[in-house]
């Protein structure tokens, strides 16, 4: 079986968020979970996506699952983008592709300019009191804290400014106690003329990811938060990790559109 490493939410190799992608030939089922988890651990990127074709005539075209090196996750934006990119660049699927996932049917639509737009459920945001110890664990005082619901599983934490987000050096062990997956730290862009409206960083110690380079699923929470603040449905977010990447968002009520590009950087064969 072929395995590919794809950098997502970027059009340049070695930036954005790398994901492993495996297209499986069996149209009936995935291999057992332990094998999928072992492959994801071997790939050792934030997520590895596994997809197999589904019979024609159903509500979806491909079944899709995502694994970190430590666990299966309910939603992953960058690995979905990477999978759609592989399907379209290899000719395995043409036009919009419908993925059957743990988060329902997700649709990824390619555009002529090489970008892919994904239709994801908008995260339900609930304002909560800052948990005791969160400021110390994160290394900054929260302005606002919100729960992002079961699909995302993070705390969304608004900080004072972009400089504070860039300068974070959290205590990851302490941070792990505060949410199911991790913490999304965000602030308004200092200068929107630079091409983005808000900035974020994502720390997911509970699923084996200290800092995720660019997180599509987090933007299903960031989009409604900042669209309300900035009074615009369409925004661009910069995820300010060392690799960095841009996610274009459009809020459509209970759905959020995430648009980005991807580039395949490695292709090989699974021998084990």
Q: Which are the catalytic amino acids?
A: 47
Q: Average pLDDT for residues 65-84, to the nearest whole number?
A: 94
Residue 265: burial class (beta carbons within 10 Å; 0-12, 13-18, 19+): middle
| Residue 126: pLDDT over 80 | yes
- Dist. CA 79–CA 46, nearest whole Å: 9
- Dist. CA 68–CA 48, nearest whole Å: 6
| Residue 121: pLDDT over 80 | yes
Name, in order, each residue with C-beta under 8 angstroms of 170's C-beta and a sequence gap of 6 or more. Answer: 137, 138, 139, 183, 203
Reported as a pLDDT band with limits 50, 70 and 90, residue 27 is low
CB 173 within 8 A of CB 156: no
pLDDT score, position 180? 85
């Amino acid at each position: 079986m072929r395995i590919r490493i794809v950098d997502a939410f970027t059009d340049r190799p070695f930036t954005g968020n790398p994901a492993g992608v495996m297209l499986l030939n069996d149209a009936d089922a995935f291999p057992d979970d332990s094998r999928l988890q072992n492959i994801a651990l071997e790939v050792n990127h934030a997520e590895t996506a596994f997809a197999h074709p589904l019979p024609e005539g159903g509500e979806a075209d491909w079944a899709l699952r995502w694994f970190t090196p430590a666990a299966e996750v309910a939603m992953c934006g960058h690995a979905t983008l990477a999978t759609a990119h592989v399907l379209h660049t290899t000719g395995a699927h043409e036009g919009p592709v419908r993925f059957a996932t743990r988060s329902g049917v997700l649709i990824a639509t390619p555009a002529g300019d090489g970008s892919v737009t994904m239709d994801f459920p908008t995260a339900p945001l609930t304002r909560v009191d800052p948990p005791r110890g969160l400021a110390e664990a994160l290394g900054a005082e929260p302005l606002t804290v919100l729960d992002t619901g079961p699909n995302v599983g993070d705390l969304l934490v608004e900080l004072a400014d972009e400089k504070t987000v860039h300068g974070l050096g959290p205590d990851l062990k302490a941070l792990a106690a505060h949410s199911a997956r991790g913490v999304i730290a965000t602030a308004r862009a200092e200068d929107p003329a630079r091409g983005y409206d808000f900035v974020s960083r994502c720390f997911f110690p509970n699923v084996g990811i200290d800092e995720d380079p660019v997180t599509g699923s987090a933007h299903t929470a960031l989009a409604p938060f900042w669209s309300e603040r900035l009074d615009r449905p369409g925004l661009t977010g910069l995820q300010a990790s060392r690799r960095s990447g841009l996610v274009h968002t459009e809020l459509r009520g209970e759905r959020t559109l995430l648009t980005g590009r991807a580039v395949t950087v490695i292709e090989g064969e699974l021998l084990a």
